[in-house]
């Protein structure tokens, strides 16, 4: 892609932070780097700006979570060509809407990566009077983890599934500096080596400074309005970085490291006496007026966006024309496809699929992101949650009984009956079903299918059944803006 000198935008910073007159510099729509990084507040605002940009609808604010990538996970009936998500659900990467959407992901992601690299270069290698501890280690640790997070998702999307033959093929650039020079295309192995290096370094910095280790997630306002050490669910914190690293190991089929880290993190955050990310309670999940559809207490890392209501309005609202709405049927109350997802109809997760009455009709809608004033996690879009630790631990367990223990611990907290499995293959089928139930609207199901090379997926045109999935359809082509530079 074409990389130009870029500064942190005022918009990106002011959405989360109140800014003073010190940003009123020329040109009026940009903040100069020298001014931005002249104070501790500037470093923190720059980091906040990265999170705000990640919450853009072209990335984790919709496209990579509840929108296009979730449609690729085959949750919905997409039988009409005029539904814009039909082309994502059928993996037609030649369609203009697909090419535009993935181009946006690529451009926006590398723009954010460039800003992270500027921030990391300014942070340097040691605390200073301007950026002392714990802020130095906190900013550096989060920035390294975020750089790894975004590169890793680009690989999962644009790279091949992990295999002996494909993992050595050049795939994508990994930018470690804010240089204008075009980086070479690295293979999946090389990209993942850099992802692991960034995450392991991030762990070390965050272990020194992350307040989540001493005071918890801190979901309350700080002294004098200083929230730089609070609301750790909305930051890529130490424990969330552990989960991301475990996810990365599993992508590489390194089940030894993935499983060990997942089990270690469960032991740290799910203590019997005081769990840091406690499972949702029945009272909260089944609350009649303000149900906790996101299971917010379990979320280890999330985007914060006051525009989350637009996700519901753009994708799921009954007010949307049925031909362009994401729905589990043809625009009616049929729940055949929904019921097929859940082996226990008392499962808390099923509650997101609710009937909604309109004048003259009733529709079944996905209400996971419905906007409830005063509702829990009103502005939250989950990216990493504690249940994934249990699923990774189950998949990586070499003992069948141990694997089932992790699965049934999760199902217990979903109000679902316990399961048994006679073979490892049967356990994997259970894990597949749990992924499908667990991550609706969170953009993970497509990557699960890709990682394991599924050759059949749920059918996008019917309430039941499957369709063939060519393995080459899992790989999104590099955008033209990138390939044009390498001809």
Q: Decide if 281 is inside a domain.
A: yes
For residue 312, the model assigns a pLDDT of 97
Of 13-27, 298-312, 430-444, the one with minimum mean pLDDT is 13-27
Alpha helices in 159-187 (DSSP H): none
Provide the residue count of the chain. 487
pLDDT at 6: 37
**Structural domain containing residue 150:** 39-220+227-287+386-484
CATH code of residue 139: 1.25.40.390
What does the pLDDT read at residue 17? 40
Whole-number percent of the chain with pLDDT over 70: 93
**Mean pLDDT, rounded, for 233-237:** 98
Least confident of 66-75, 159-168, 313-322, 369-378: 313-322
Residue for token pair 């870029």: 6
Q: pLDDT category, 33, cuts 50, 70, 90?
A: confident
Range of weakest confidence among 34-43, 54-63, 354-363, 395-404: 354-363
Q: Which of 77-91, 247-261, 287-301 has the lowest mean pLDDT?
A: 77-91
Strands (DSSP E) found in 327-470: 353-358, 361-366, 380-385, 456-458, 466-468
Position 6 in a domain: no
Asked if the structure places residue 2 within a domain, the reply is no
Residue with tokens 């814009």: 84
The answer as to whether 380 is a domain residue is no
Mind listing the pLDDT tens digit for each residue in 264-322? 999 999 998 899 999 999 999 999 999 999 999 999 999 999 999 999 999 999 988 88
pLDDT tier for residue 487 given thresholds of 50, 70 and 90: confident
Average pLDDT of the residues of the chain: 92
The answer to whether position 102 is within a domain reads yes
What pLDDT, in 10s, does the model give residues 108-162? 999 999 999 999 999 999 999 999 999 999 999 999 999 999 999 999 999 999 9
With bands split at pLDDT 50, 70 and 90, how would you rate the model's confidence at 469?
very high
Residue 346 inside a domain? The answer is no
pLDDT at res. 221: 87
CB-neighbour burial class of residue 325 (10 A; exposed 0-12, middle 13-18, buried 19+): buried
| Pairing assessment for the beta strands 361-366 and 466-468 based on DSSP bridges | unpaired
Does residue 444 form part of some domain? yes
What total of structural domains would you count in the chain? Answer: 1
Q: Is residue 71 part of a domain?
A: yes
Task: Report the pLDDT averaged over residues 326-346.
Answer: 94
């Amino acid at each position: 892609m074409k990389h130009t000198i870029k500064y942190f935008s005022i918009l990106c910073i002011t959405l989360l932070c109140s800014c003073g007159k010190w940003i009123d510099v020329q040109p009026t729509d940009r903040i100069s780097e020298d001014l931005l990084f002249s104070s501790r507040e500037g470093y923190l605002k720059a980091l906040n700006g990265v999170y705000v940009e990640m919450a853009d609808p072209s990335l984790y604010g919709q496209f990579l979570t509840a929108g296009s990538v979730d449609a690729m996970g085959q949750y919905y009936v997409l039988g009409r060509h005029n539904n814009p998500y039909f082309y994502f659900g059928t993996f037609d990467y030649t369609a203009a809407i697909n090419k535009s959407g993935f181009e946006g992901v690529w451009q926006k992601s590398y723009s954010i990566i460039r800003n992270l690299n500027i921030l990391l270069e300014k942070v340097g290698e040691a605390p200073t009077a301007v950026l002392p501890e714990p802020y130095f280690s906190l900013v550096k640790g989060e920035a390294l983890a975020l750089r790894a997070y975004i590169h890793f998702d680009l690989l999962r999307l644009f790279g091949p599934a992990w295999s002996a033959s494909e993992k050595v093929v050049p795939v994508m650039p990994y930018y470690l500096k804010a240089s204008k020079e075009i980086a070479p295309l690295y293979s999946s192995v090389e990209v993942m080596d850099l992802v692991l290096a960034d995450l392991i370094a991030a762990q070390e910095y965050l272990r020194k400074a992350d307040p989540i280790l001493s005071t918890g997630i801190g979901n309350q306002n700080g002294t004098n309005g200083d929230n730089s050490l609070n609301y750790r669910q909305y930051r890529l914190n130490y424990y969330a970085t552990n989960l991301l690293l475990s996810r990365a190991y599993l992508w590489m089929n390194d089940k030894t490291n993935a499983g060990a880290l997942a089990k270690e993190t469960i032991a740290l955050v799910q203590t019997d006496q005081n769990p840091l990310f406690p499972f949702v309670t029945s009272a909260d999940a089944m609350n009649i007026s303000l149900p906790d559809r996101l299971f917010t207490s379990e979320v280890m890392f999330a985007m914060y966006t006051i525009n989350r209501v637009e996700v519901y309005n753009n994708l799921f609202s009954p007010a949307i024309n049925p031909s362009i709405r994401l729905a589990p049927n043809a625009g009616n109350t049929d729940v055949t496809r929904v019921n097929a997802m859940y082996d226990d109809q008392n499962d808390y997760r099923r509650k997101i699929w609710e009937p909604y009455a309109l004048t003259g009709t009733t529709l079944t809608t996905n209400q996971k992101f419905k906007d409830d004033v005063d509702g829990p996690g009103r502005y939250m879009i989950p990216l990493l949650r504690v249940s994934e630790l249990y699923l990774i631990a189950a998949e990586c367990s070499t003992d069948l009984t141990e694997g089932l223990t992790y699965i049934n611990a999760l199902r217990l907290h979903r109000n679902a009956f316990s399961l048994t499995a006679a073979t490892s293959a049967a356990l994997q089928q259970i894990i597949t079903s749990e992924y499908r139930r667990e991550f609706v609207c969170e953009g993970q199901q497509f990557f699960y299918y890709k990682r394991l090379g599924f050759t059949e997926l749920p059918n996008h045109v019917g309430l039941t059944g499957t369709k063939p999935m060519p393995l080459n359809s899992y790989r999104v082509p590099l955008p033209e803006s990138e390939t044009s530079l390498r001809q």
